[in-house]
Structure 1
């Protein structure tokens, strides 16, 4: 999802200077309604009555006027009898016509005052029947102020002045440019996307390219994608050049590789493209089959930082180097093909399932490439950025923006950093085999995924807790209830009395926390079981003692708190010194 910027180092992660993105200034525009601005507001009963079968989207992109002209033909199956369709669409994209099952509705029939388009059906449909609505609409889509963190369309230009357009709508949702069900679990089964652009521009899209047609001075690209995440349908327009290749998977299938980049960047583009096969090999070795192997692994250069648009990941890292040996942004967004697109949180409150797992994949990938030094360097950077202001999971439905907004009680960046380090602790606790078995169950819904034998999954935190218990044969609810549902980290109190080392966990609300603790005594590692949250170990006088020598415990550490407070003071001083 939104890139966390963690891999750019502490300067960005702790709130100092960030990157400058090449995008046009935001023109004056009508404000979004509260309903449109927040993705994942409570789903109305009318939307729960239907299943989203198919979306056929025709979108003409007009860079000269920063506008679109569009139509959407939406097919739904009734899960219960209904006489109305509700779809989400920004009211700032006026609807000019609607037909239902081929019959035009009077303009007075539909309404869209707040961004939820209400379409009455001429006749009620019963459970099991289908209805098809075609909606003609258009105008100036909402322009992003700072994509992808503040979403919308980005209207930009290449260095030689050619149009360069991208969409990034994860926070605000799909309704910023197409009529949809703006919920994590509102995915259509199939999307046919037709994007019409002025020649000679190119329009890379989601899924498989069905064909390209030309008419006068325009061309239309037809893309087809299965089960796309709602916000992952994307518009990309530019004078792109393309690199193509194939990856021969360890699972026996062949995956098409595509990278669309801007002219003049061939050498850098080829270097980035060379990372694609090893990325695929890592994820398939650690997690399982690439979920969209019968479509493609696609990446497109965008005029904003990045976003995990399914099979067409947005990349705007400017080929930056950071010493890690791989492009952190490419790797992070690609991880979301598993954690976000194949496995999707059923509600935004469980968003750590996307970001925590995707973030952990970066230190694991660094270790896979270059060993333990890079692995621990990554983990240490993550640890310094954990805020612990609010629980990672509230246990209540949330919108996407509420999760990111700490002022509204959201965990913010902790879904990335704390989520990843919690999982690293779990990995050590339950062991390699059980940990990866739990991930496969979470992502694929089965222990033996192979190309073609799994379907996309909607998941909750409770689902993952049950999976871990089932895979291990033990009850680990105590682990998740502390790390996910409490803001403060557990603190380890260490006391040494004579030849005895005493250990006691101090946990919010005195919750059970029998987390074993490794102690190294003069080079020998001992494991203290900590039943009841406390334990002891005989330690000879004068022995050198190191608590948690392999840095596997996510816990409160005074040295880190002191550093974070110092950094906060430094920021305040710099702010006060500005004229």
Structure 2
């Protein structure tokens, strides 16, 4: 006779492991060419109710989505992982029969009860439940993460940048598909907290001891909505902005880590001050600056950035992971790339902000050291921008032909070179236009926006009065770096830029001649400098220009061979 324990084990369904349940190829795609029917939708509002069931590792959800079509609409197409099967749908309160919808591969197609004319707002209520996909190695791949907090309590998080928002809620899974606002109602077991995006509306205590955490966020990035559940403790404070407003700051951390949490929290206000001084106002001051400790490394979840860097100390004196994700409040959440082909606008700028912060804190030596570390990571395997709609994975994954980490480090070095070319004022003026759409941002006079690489090029042209297309074409639309050829002939130094496309590349260069800095204009991509016989010559002595380096290539090849 089987024991009660064995019977219980046999009756208990096996919990999902990493990578389970599997995803369809459609669910793994985020962005790319937009479905024509989805392109008709203006996404007005998302009201999202979640119930977390940790023991079964399940998620129940009800999404009430409000849309206004810009053209007549006969069916609603919403992205949703088929591992979260739909049990009911209603349109404007009218329940639809089961045969009205299908979701064979990760796109929920709903036959509307009648044609919806352009301009007529309608509301879809979608009830679903299931086992969400467990990430294999978050945040480099996506899904949910189940872990344990001290004491064995639930520690849960979501991450969805690569595969998209449809991993846990029905959405429009492309960058410009964000709703104008979202409400999140997150119900969790007793003793757990659920910090999330935006402003806390209140916490409801249910009769059985569970709680529902209610949040409201404006213009959330599609992948930026996040669920975080644990027995969190909180550190809070207020930042008095140089713009005159007060910004609430919150950090949710695991029990037993109060000292480390206070140390990280001490970085919040100085980092805010840096960004407000250099870029402009914190974009979400009327909601909060929020960070939450997560069982994965990190992600730029709007106003609730994920932090999992284990409070590691660094020679720069600040936490790079916290700083990088916080930079995305400007470069990803306030400014959102209109297509994943412009992914570098998120990652290149966020990466460049770290050496700029090092410079802000300690000066040029720290800046140079940080830039040098980034230079070693540039691979030049694919163009950063290809001029066509791209999915997130097509950009992020080198195995799929994407530039991979070059959107971070090469993007940062491109900005470093551009800043030296056009000067600080023009560089930051163009950056401010990119982020805010205006030169004079103040709290309350701007809103989150979309932009492209071409937009940034236009802003650079606007503030400098010159066309720098040659610069962006060479660095962004070609994989290979420009190479600077040096020759000494008699008393002259001959310099010539060579690019993969063979186009003129008139990037000026500095040359140190016996310690004296000379500026060579490189008109038409060529330059000549008189150099005395026997003089010691160093080209680009301050490493201000991104160019091919045989030394870096040799080092990278050696490292690759040693693996």
TM category (shorter chain) comes to: over 0.9
Equivalent position to 1:204, from 176, 195, 199? 195
Counterpart CA distance in 2 for 1:189 and 1:309 is 16
Question: Could you say which residue in structure 1 is the equivalent of 2:162?
Answer: 171
Q: Residues 367-419 of structure 1, C-alpha deviation per residue, up to 9 Å, x if partnerless?
A: 11112222111111111110001111111111001111212220000000000
Residue number in structure 2 paired with 1:541: 533
Matches within 5 A, 1:334-353: 334-353=326-345
Are the structure 2 counterparts of residues 537 and 124 from structure 1 closer, same or farther at C-alpha, using a change threshold of 3 Å? same
Runs of 4+ off more than 2 Å: 24-30
Please tell me whether residue 104 in structure 1 is matched to residue 95 in structure 2: yes
Q: Which residue does 1:226 correspond to in 2?
A: 218
Match of 2:360 in 1: 368
Structure 2 residue matching 1:509: 3-state secondary structure? coil
* Corresponding residue to 1:118 among 109, 122, 136: 109
**Structure 2 residue corresponding to 1:502, chosen from 494, 505, 508:** 494
Offset of residue 43 of structure 1? 1.6
Shift of 1:42: 2.2
CA distance in structure 2 between the partners assigned to 1:263 and 1:330 by the alignment: 19
Tell me the distance in 2 between the aligned counterparts of 1:354 and 1:150: 18
Distance 1:337 1:542 in 2: 52
1:47 to 33, 38, 41: 38
Residue deviations 1:50-95, cap 9 Å, x none? 1000000000011111111110000001211112111100011010
By how many angstroms is 1:27 displaced?
Answer: 5.0
Query: Which of these residues, 403, 419, 428, is aligned with residue 411 of structure 2?
Result: 419
User: What is the aligned residue count?
Assistant: 548
Residue equivalent to 1:278 = 270
Q: 1:382 to 1:27 in 2, by over 3 A?
A: closer
SS in structure 1 at match of 2:175: coil
* Matched position secondary structure for 1:108: helix
Q: Which among 424, 434, 437 is matched to residue 429 of structure 2?
A: 437
Whether 1:299 and 2:291 are equivalent positions in the alignment is yes
Q: Residue 30 of structure 1: CA displacement?
A: 3.2
Matches for 1:179-190 after TM superposition, within 5 Å: 179-190=170-181
C-alpha distance in structure 1 between counterparts of 2:387 and 2:401, whole Å: 12
CA distance in 2, matches of 1:329, 1:320: 9
Match status 1:392 vs 2:392: no
User: SS of the residue aligned with 1:185?
Assistant: helix
Larger displacement relative to structure 2 (543-552 or 218-227)? 543-552
Task: State the alpha-carbon separation in 2 of the partners of residues 126 and 515 from structure 1.
Answer: 54
Listed as ranges, the matches of 1:383-532 within 5 Å are: 383-532=375-524
SS at the partner of 2:118?
coil
Provide the residue aligned with 2:315 in structure 1: 323
Q: TM-score, normalised by structure 2?
A: 0.96
Distance 1:27 1:380 in 2: 36
Contact 2:21-2:134 within 8 A present in 1 as well: no
Separation in 1, partners of 2:16, 2:429: 47
Aligned to 2:6: none
Residues in 2 aligned to 1:391 and 1:324: alpha-carbon distance in whole angstroms: 31
Cα deviation for residue 559 of structure 1 reads: 1.1
Are 1:299 and 1:315, in contact at CA under 8 Å, matched by a contact in 2?
A: yes
What is the SS of the residue equivalent to 2:256? coil
Distance, in Å, in 2 between the alignment partners of 1:462 and 1:275 is 34
Confirm or deny: 8 A CA contact 1:35 1:41 kept in the other structure. no
Q: Distance in 2 between matches of 1:156 and 1:284?
A: 36
Counterpart-to-counterpart distance in 2, 1:35 and 1:474:
43
Q: 2:76–2:112: 8 Å Cα contact kept in structure 1?
A: yes
Q: Which moved further from structure 2: 373-382 or 304-313? A: 373-382
- Alpha carbons 2:16, 2:57 under 8 Å: kept: no
What is the distance in 2 between the residues matched to 1:299 and 1:275? Answer: 12
Contact 2:150 2:255 in 1 (8 A): no
Of 349-358 and 562-571, more deviation after overlay is shown by: 562-571
Closer, same or farther: CA 385–25 of 1 in aligned 2, 3 Å: farther
Which residue is 1:16 aligned to? none
Q: Report the equivalent of 1:8.
A: none
- For 1:278 and 1:26, the matched residues in 2 are separated by 41
User: Which residue number corresponds to residue 556 of structure 2?
Assistant: 564
**Aligned counterpart for 2:50 among listed residues 59, 63, 88:** 59
Instruction: Judge conservation of contact 2:189–2:209 (CA < 8 Å) in 1.
Output: yes
Residue aligning to 2:128: 137
Q: CA deviation at 1:241?
A: 0.3
Q: CA shift at 1:41, angstroms?
A: 3.5
Deviations, residues 220-245 of structure 1 (Å, cap 9, x unaligned): 00000000001110000000000110
Structure 1 distance, partners of 2:290, 2:120, is 36
Consecutive unaligned residues of structure 2, counting only runs of 5 or more, are 1-14
2:145 maps to 1:154: yes
Residues 444, 455 of structure 1: 8 Å contact kept = yes
> Which shows bigger deviation, 53-62 or 111-120?
111-120
Q: Distance in 2 between matches of 1:415 and 1:27?
A: 28
Any idea what the Cα deviations from partners look like across 1:530-571, whole Å, max 9, x if unmatched?
A: 111001011111212111111101000111111111111111
